[in-house]
Each structure stands twice: as C-alpha cells, then as structure tokens.
Chains A and B, each alone.
Chain A
Amino acid sequence: MGGTVSRPHFPHTFGLVPTVNIVFKGKFALITKLILLSGLSAILVLLIESAFAKKEYAIALFLALSLVALCYTYLSARTVPMKFFLPGLLLLFAFVIAPIVYTVVMSNFNYKTGNIISKQEAITQIKGLGVEPDANGTTFDIIVGRASTGEYAILASDTPNHVYFISTATKKTDLLPSQVTLNADGVAIAAPNFTPIPEAQLAGHEDYSKINYSYQNNYFISVQGINVGAVFRQSLRYNPSNDTFENLINGKIYKDNGRGNYVNVNASDDVLQPGWRAPNWFANYEKLFNDRQVRGPLIRVFIWTVSFAFLTVLTSFAFGLLLALTLNKPMRGRRIYRGVLVLPYAIPSVMSILIWGGMFDTEFGAINHLLGTHIAWFQNASFARTAVILVNLWLAFPYFYLISSGALQAIPSELLEAAAIDGANPRQIFKKITLPLLMQILTPLLIASFAFNFNNFNLIYLLTGGGPKDLLGGQIAGATDILISYTYQIAFGSNTQDLGLASSISVIIFFIVAGISLYGLRKSKVLETFG
C-alpha cells in the first residue's frame, strides 16, 4: 500500500548549507567514514573467514560480495545512488530475497527428518551405525593414554585370562603379564611405551572415544565408557570408488538412489539411515497433487483458507461499514465512541488472541459463562471455525471502520447534494452513489485484506493451533488450519519435519497471494504510476 503518511509544511533549510558543510566535506567526514567502514570490514572479514572454515561457501561468497560492494561504493565517487541504498539492498537480499530463492530451491529437495544432513555427514553416520558386536560380546577393562608415537592408545586388560595389550588406531601390541603393572582389581594401569591420561583430563576432549582401536581380523575395540572397551566389527563398509555400501555379513549392496538415500539394489524398501538432503526435482510438487495422503488434507485446508479469508473480510467489513455509516454524522458522544471502537485494533493482537483463547475455555471460559452453555469450542470443527471468525471480527472491524469512514469522507458532498436536489431519496442516494463510489475506493484494500487473512498465521496458531484434529489418527491438518499454519505444521510441528514439502506449499501460496495482490494493485492503479 503506497501513499503518503503526512504532508508537513516545509521549513527553509537552505541557510544551513554552509555551516553544516563541514560534516559532509573535508577531513572530519572522511575520517569518520573510514573508521566506520574499516570497523564494518573487519567484522565482515572475520565472518567470511569463519564461514569459509565451516564450509558455508554460499554465505561466505555473499558476505565477500557485500564487503567488496561496501568498500567500492563508499570509497569511490562514482556511485552516488548506490551510496543511498546499498545498506537496504544488502538487508533485503540477505533476509528476504535469499530466503525466497532458498525456499524455491528447498521445494525441489528431499529435505526432511532423516534427510537433513549433507551426504558426507550421512556416510560418516552410516559407517558409525553400521557395526555389530562380536558373537560373545567381548569387553575389556581399558585405560586411555598415548602411545610413544603420541597418538591415542588404550591399555586393555582381560583380567580372568591375564591377557594384556596396547592398541592404537593402526597397531595392536601384545604384552606379557610381566611387562605390566596391575592394580588391586587385576587391571593393567602402566606399561612400557604407554602414558596414561588422567581421567580428569579426558572429560575435555572426546576424540579418543571416536577411534576404532585395532583388534584382530575385522574386529576393533570401541571405547564404551571411560574404562570399558567392547569388540565390534564393521558390518557396513563404504566403497568410495563406486559410492556404495556393502554389508560385509550378508553381502547386500546399497547404492545411492539419487534422492538422498542408500538403497538395497535388490529391495527398494531396504534403506540405510540416515539419508541426506538431495534434489528430487518436482517430487514434492508431484506429491501435493498425486499423493492422496497429502492431497486430501491439502484440498480441505485450501477450501477452509479461502472460506475463512472471504468470510472474515465480509463480516468485518459489514460491521465496519455499518459503524462508519452510523457515526458519519455529527452526534453526541461520537468522539468517545470512536476512541472505544479502535481499541481492539490498538491492542497487540498476540495478547488479545490469547485472551480470547481463555474466554473460549470450556470449563471456566467467559463465553460459556455468559451463554450459560457448556460448549467445547475448540473440540468441534464448526464451533472452532465460528470462534475463529468471531475473534477475527473483533480484531478487524475497527480497521474496516477506519477505512470506510475515511472513504466516506473522500466522497465529494456536492455529488450527494446534487442527487438530493434531483429528487433522489436517501436510500437511492446510498445505493446508487455512495455505495458504488465507496466500493471503488475500498476494493483494493479489501483485496489486500483478503490476501493478509489468507496468511493470518497468528490468529489460527494462537487461538486453536489449527485444531481440532485427530492426532491419534495421524492427522496433521486440523479443521481450522489454513494453508500457512498447515505448512508450519509440516515444517516444524509434527514428528517428521518435511522442509521440502513445506517449501513447495509455500511456493504455491506465494503464487496465489501474488496473484491476488497484483489483481488488487491493478484495481488501485498503483502500477500505472510507473508508466
């Protein structure tokens, strides 16, 4: 919504030019600029460095480009317009445009619980999970320390059999009982070429516990606590040359399916966990239209979203217009009425929605108290929907009252007088002149309001949470869920968080809202001002 905020009178400021000039020209200005710019550059350089170190190349690249742009813009004299909007532009790019682009990218990814990490991380985790203990479940008492080479080592003791050895990631050295010093429990605590690390110091670093210490054949020892090691063997082996996992025990081969998982080549439902985020192109969109599990709730939610936005605009506008007409003529107490009537619009809506939530409480709520009923408002779809519309009526009618009375005053009174002189009665004047003019003025605002309510997340989330829904039936969409709250549920709410699917719904909502808004703008002729 464009337009002016106000039009103050213009004071004469030209006389100030020479006196304030010093702030904009000369050494003082230059030094201030350089100090600010170098401070900002230092911060950016630090961020770029650490982003690069953590392999967040896209972010590092963006920051580096910002740095170059900042320095070039403010150090060269050639880029005057850029000097004005670079900060705003950078913020817009980083936190509005980049997320929009990223949403579109994510909507083409298999990006959900179980497919959140990168492929490299997934391979590491699969390797870590793909182990099994040996048949006897052998364990050793161990002491963690360092070998003479400096690498981590364990001194392992099999106390009943008096077997002792030192083991590192690469080498196992057997020891004779005579070579080791035992404690009272018969556990070796000292040996040649082995320096124990005191337990107190181990707490600081976790690296030692991630090493597979050598044992025999395919088996290795994994640290299971500060002084216990257990024998495992790798059951899944990664083969980097053809990017497959092989199960060493039963010989099954798992291949990258191109959608973020290693899948058994012979059985497509045998999948290794975890997977990784991988492009699946239009699979999320396809799911929206073809998967009945997804499509069913989506259509229901869509219908309710449109009905809700339409009904809420209709009811609030009706009440607002009625009030505007009522209070359009001078009358006693008009100012007080006006003051009271805008209150619902002035109060932070988060607070008032929560207050209404309490009022609709079944047991103790004021609404049931007032009506003398015992309705479980948020347990029944129709009641919950009624409550949503009613609460939004309370929240929104002042807005429609304000814009309607603004529009009423914008209608030239000569028109109405002329009609009266021509013999039209008040009803005819209203029907034939006032209302059409009013609608012409207000239609763009009504459309904008429709678009806003289409995504009125706070109302739904804070009042009903989208419910009622049958959670036991595994339902994600509730009776009052609108598209955006449903999307939020898919992305963050339920057990499986599906960011890819949520993004694809977001993209679709965007097109719907953009369509509505552009239609509204065409109506309000804002676009013509570019012509």
Chain B
Amino acid sequence: MKKWLRNNLWRHAVSLFMCAFALFPLYLVILSSFSQTGSLQLTSFAPNGLSWRNYKLLFSSPAIPYLTWMKNSLVVAGTVAIVSVIVGASSAFAFSRLKFKGKKLGIQLLLLVQMFPAILAIAAVYVIMERVYRFAPRIGLGTQAGLILIYLGGAMGVNIWLLKGFVDSIPIELDEAAKIDGASPVQTYWLIFVPLATPVLAVVALMSFIGTFNEFILARLFLVDMSNRTIAVGLQAFIAGQYSRNWGPFAAGSILASIPIVIIFLSLQKYIIGGLTAGSVKG
C-alpha cells in the first residue's frame, strides 16, 4: 500500500490537477450555456437549474443568424478541404515520383513557402483581392468564393508537403510493376496511388477542414456582411466588447460549433499525433 502510494499518488495528483485545469473553462462554458440569465456573472460554481433558453435563442433570434454562419463555415471549410486535397495530392505525387527538370529547386521552394505564415502577406492579399473585386465582384473582396481561393492557395504548401511524405513511403516497386504492365503515370496515379492513399487523403482533408474552420483573421477581414460570415467571425463579432450581455448564447453557440470539430479530432487523434511526431522521430 505504502509503495503504491509513493509510486502512484503523485501521478494521479498531477494528472488530476492538469485535468481540472483543462476542464475548468469547459465546465464554466457548459454551465453558462444552460443558465437562465445568459449573463457572464457567476453566482456559484455549482449548477442551479437547467434551461435551454440560450440554445433556443441561437435558432430563433434574428440578431444571431447562427445556422447561416454554421452553414457558411461548413461550405467554406468543406470546399477547401476537398479541393485542396485533390489538387495537393496530384502535385505531391509528381514531386515524389516523376522525374523532371528543377525538381529539387521546386521542393526547396515548397519548403520555404509552407513555412511562410499567410498572415504576413495579409495586407497584400487584401489589396490584390480589392483589385480583383473591381473587375470580378463575385470572387473579389467580401465574397466567400474569394476567401476559398485564398485558403486553397494557403493550404497548398502544407498539404503537398504532408502528402509528399506519404507518397515517399509507398514502395517504388509498386510503380515499377505498374509501369511494366504498361501503365502511364496518369494511370499509376489513379489506379495505384489514389486507392492506397484514400485513407490518408481523408485524414489530410479533415485536418484541412479543422484548420479552415478555425481560421479567423482572413475571414474577419473578408466577410463583412452578416449573412456571409463564418461561425468564428460571427461569434466573435457577437461577443466583441459585450462579454457580459451576450455571454449565454455565445457559450451555447461555441459548444455546438465545437462538438463536430472535437469529434473529428478525437477520431483522428492517432493520425494527427503520427503526423506531429513522424518527421522528427525519423530524423
């Protein structure tokens, strides 16, 4: 007993303390989402009563077009996830498998580009899209289509880089066998690579989805219209500077918006952690 205590008590103590730290804000936000008042003020840390008032407000109050925001987020993040993986996968395949002039330079450039935080060029992106708006109002500043295009560009570097690593790990013998069977590179891509990579492509797509869903500043700068906004921008504008007043509906809204992301994350945990460490552990 004494030995167990010495060996394990501190482990449980540390773990419990960190769990409490991790859960504290989450507990609070759940608590206030079910409160009757919708105010930020806490009367106690224990729940008193359960009310759906804040959740109902989300779907009935005209001041909070919650469903529209949610739909916008799903459309933007979904499009970016799917298209960026389709486009990225073929580039990654080319970088990994095909021989062409300037390949090494291309890879180095890609490495440099994927390190560049998109936010650094935000002023330039803004000005460029402002100009695009002058001749093509549908894809310029203020439109979701324009925002999607920018996200796609931004996702390219990271996705190609990530997927290239995966293609590298597929034994080259498979390609060579296909080549002997008379397959062209295009066929090798569709018949060998794509079926093999489908699970990986799905994971990369979902990671891209999470990333885009969570993107704030470009969306904030771009989507000015209330009905155009994504959930992140919508909720931020809703709460901005008025923590005390709109807290309840905001809490309810954040919980609902977070649930799908948390589910995706937890089910992909294995892959995401693999992706986080693989590069370094290998080296």
Contacts and interface: CB of A to CB of B under 8 A. Distances in A.
Contact of A81 (B94, B178, B262): B94
B95 A85 contact: yes
B90 A85 contact: yes
Given A87-B87, A394-B25, A441 B127 contact: no
A4 B169 contact: yes
B63 interface: no
B281 A410 contact: yes
Contacts of A51: 135-136
B123 A103 contact: yes
Given A91-B153, A92-B156, A445-B280, A363 B244 contact: yes
A403 B22 contact: no
B283 A524 contact: yes
A235 interface: no
B124 interface: yes
Contacts of B119: 455, 457, 484, 488
A100 B236 contact: no
Contact of B122 (A94, A366, A442, A488): A488
Contacts of A341: 15, 18-19, 22
A34 to B, nearest CB: 16
Contacts of B49: none
Main secondary structure of the interface of A (DSSP, over half): helix
Given A24-B190, A88-B156, A530-B107, A59 B123 contact: no
B247 interface: yes
Nearest to B29: A355
Contacts of B189: 84
Given A87-B87, A350-B236, A491 B154 contact: no
Contact of A513 (B99, B100, B115, B162): B115
B74 interface: no
B164 interface: yes
A3 interface: yes
B55 interface: no
Interface residues of A, number: 122
A301 interface: no
Interface stretch (A142-150, A203-211, A266-274, A326-334): A326-334
Given A2-B165, A87-B87, A326-B11, A364 B42 contact: yes
Contacts of A6: 166, 199-200, 203, 270-271, 274
Contacts of A87: 87, 90-91
A514 interface: yes
A17 B236 contact: no
B261 A347 contact: yes
A70 to B, nearest CB: 13
Interface residues of B, number: 129
B69 interface: no
B235 interface: yes
B281 A441 contact: yes
Interface string A74-115: 000000111111011101101111111011001000000000
Given A11-B195, A319-B18, A84 B251 contact: no
Contacts of A8: 196, 199-200
B57 interface: no
A126 interface: no
A85 B91 contact: yes
Nearest to A391: B25
Contacts of B160: 88
B39 interface: yes
Nearest to B168: A4
Main secondary structure of the interface of B (DSSP, over half): helix
Given A51-B136, A348-B213, A358-B239, A5 B166 contact: yes
Contacts of A352: 25
A95 B84 CA distance: 13
Given A51-B135, A85-B95, A369-B42, A349 B153 contact: no
Nearest to A343: B22
B58 interface: no
Contacts of A364: 39-42, 243-244
A487 to B, nearest CB: 8
A518 to B, nearest CB: 8
A355 B254 contact: yes
B116 A96 contact: yes
B59 interface: no
Given A50-B136, A351-B258, A403 B174 contact: no
Contact of A99 (B14, B29, B121): B121
Contacts of B28: 355, 359, 366
B263 to A, nearest CB: 9
B232 interface: yes
Contacts of B161: 1-2
Interface stretch (A178-186, A247-255, A257-265, A499-507): A499-507
Contacts of B112: 514
Interface in B84-115: 87-88, 90-91, 93-95, 98-100, 104, 107-108, 111-113, 115
Nearest to A102: B124
B72 to A, nearest CB: 14
Contact of B22 (A7, A11, A344): A344
Contacts of A344: 22
Contact of A361 (B40, B181, B190): B40
A292 interface: no
A394 B21 contact: yes
22 contacts: A5-B271, A6-B199, A6-B200, A17-B182, A20-B190, A80-B185, A80-B186, A94-B153, A100-B113, A103-B124, A332-B8, A347-B261, A347-B262, A348-B254, A348-B261, A350-B216, A351-B254, A358-B239, A358-B247, A365-B243, A442-B280, A492-B221
Given A24-B187, A24-B190, A487-B123, 8 more contacts: A6-B271, A17-B178, A56-B135, A88-B160, A342-B265, A358-B243, A442-B280, A503-B123
Interface of A: 1-8, 10-11, 13-14, 16-17, 20-21, 23-24, 47, 50-51, 53-54, 56, 59, 80-85, 87-89, 91-92, 94-100, 102-103, 106, 319, 322-323, 326-327, 329, 331-333, 337, 339-352, 354-359, 361, 363-366, 369-370, 394, 397-399, 402-403, 406-407, 410, 441-442, 444-445, 451-452, 455, 457-458, 461-462, 484, 487-488, 491-492, 499, 502-503, 506, 509-510, 513-514, 517, 521, 524-526, 530
In the complex, the 3 A-B pairs of residues with the closest C-beta atoms, listed nearest first? A95-B153, A3-B278, A3-B279
